[in-house]
A = this chain, B = another copy of it.
């Protein structure tokens, strides 16, 4: 059993981490912090956890966190980077679910997040926690930067095309939609049921913070010498709680000699425990991954034209955040990669 702590446990990625970790056979959650709720029992805030955990929120304390085996940050961006310099000196390994260490180009990060980075010197130490591209580096990482939800769905959908240089990298499109939990547990009018249920909209069309993260991830897997991947990314808000669905478009470079896309995808993900390529012709639904860590993917070439359409569905709180964090932890500590994550999606 390893000891785990969660910094910033009151948000939705925090309670999702708890849902998964309290049933994990090799993990004991011993610390969960929240300045605002210090002293409150977790199960009083989230009654779904009544009977499963007896812990109360506490003030974050680096000395306490440093004694743990693993510390998860489930905080808004800008928080982890402040504790990181001191925490990196302890023996704890760190999995940051926020955006603080995802982008290697600090100037780029500062432009998109509109603030100075708190510890640019540590950014290079972070390993981007997408197991499907980075498993070996994750194994020995001290600090993991867990991917964003849209970046996970989009990268997993594009990988086989990009790695094999099959499509025009300058004309990539990710048209994605997310459940409202992606906006977190924040008291904003924009997130009220009355404002967003029974409606649908795009947002952040002019520029969303996940764009540079996705472009970085795609460029990392392009064959040497390729034109750097360029993405048009349009996120949308769904009137539901959980789920991300990305509809990806790319233009085949040489239409006629294109490979069998179905086989390409099946082979690429044959050994991935959490990527499920659907049988040809089937399309993923977010409900088939609700509460599960699986990404389900389909690939199409409509009318045999040269536009490829990829569909990719995840639960934004699980594979898009907390489940992926646990998957990273499993890899880091040599556990079965599916430990604590082998759950069936809740359907219906």
A171-215 vs B, Cβ < 8 Å mask (1 yes, 0 no)? 101010100110101111101111111111111011100010000
Which residues does chain B contribute within 8 Å of A203, judged by CB atoms?
283
- CB pair A292–B193 under 8 Å, yes or no, is no
Which residues does chain B contribute within 8 Å of A185, judged by CB atoms?
189, 192, 194-195, 348
Which residues does chain B contribute within 8 Å of A183, judged by CB atoms?
194
- CB pair A206–B281 under 8 Å, yes or no, is yes
Which residues does chain B contribute within 8 Å of A206, judged by CB atoms?
281, 300, 302
- A234 on the interface (CB 8 Å rule)? yes
- Tell me the bound Cα distance from A185 to B278 in angstroms: 23
- CB pair B205–A197 under 8 Å, yes or no, is no
- A51 on the interface (CB 8 Å rule)? yes
- CB pair A247–B202 under 8 Å, yes or no, is yes
Stretch at the interface among A85-93, A114-122, A261-269, A305-313: A305-313
- CB pair B241–A201 under 8 Å, yes or no, is no
- A324 on the interface (CB 8 Å rule)? no
- CB pair A239–B239 under 8 Å, yes or no, is yes
Stretch at the interface among A62-70, A220-228, A338-346: A338-346
Q: How many residues of A contact B (CB 8 A)?
A: 92
- Tell me the bound Cα distance from A186 to B49 in angstroms: 28
Which residues does chain B contribute within 8 Å of A243, judged by CB atoms?
199-200
- CB pair A198–B201 under 8 Å, yes or no, is no
- A26 on the interface (CB 8 Å rule)? no
- CB pair A287–B245 under 8 Å, yes or no, is no
- Tell me the bound Cα distance from A305 to B187 in angstroms: 35
For this chain, the copies found in one complex come to 4
Q: Choose one: B47, B52, B205; the contact of A309 (CB below 8 Å).
A: B205
- CB pair B192–A347 under 8 Å, yes or no, is no
- CB pair B230–A198 under 8 Å, yes or no, is no
Interface of chain A residues 229 through 251 with chain B (CB within 8 A): 230, 232-234, 236, 238-243, 245, 247, 249, 251
- A257 on the interface (CB 8 Å rule)? no
Stretch at the interface among A15-23, A103-111, A129-137, A139-147: A15-23
- CB pair A177–B180 under 8 Å, yes or no, is no
- A149 on the interface (CB 8 Å rule)? no
A290-302 vs B, Cβ < 8 Å mask (1 yes, 0 no)? 1110101010101
Residue numbers of A with Cβ under 8 A of B are 12, 15, 18-19, 22-23, 44, 46-52, 171, 173, 175, 177, 180-181, 183, 185-189, 191-203, 205-207, 211, 230, 232-234, 236, 238-243, 245, 247, 249, 251, 276, 278-279, 281-292, 294, 296, 298, 300, 302-303, 305, 307, 309, 311, 313, 317, 342-348
User: Could you write out 8 A-B pairs with CB less than 8 Å apart?
Assistant: A22-B344, A50-B296, A173-B307, A177-B177, A185-B195, A206-B300, A232-B249, A242-B348
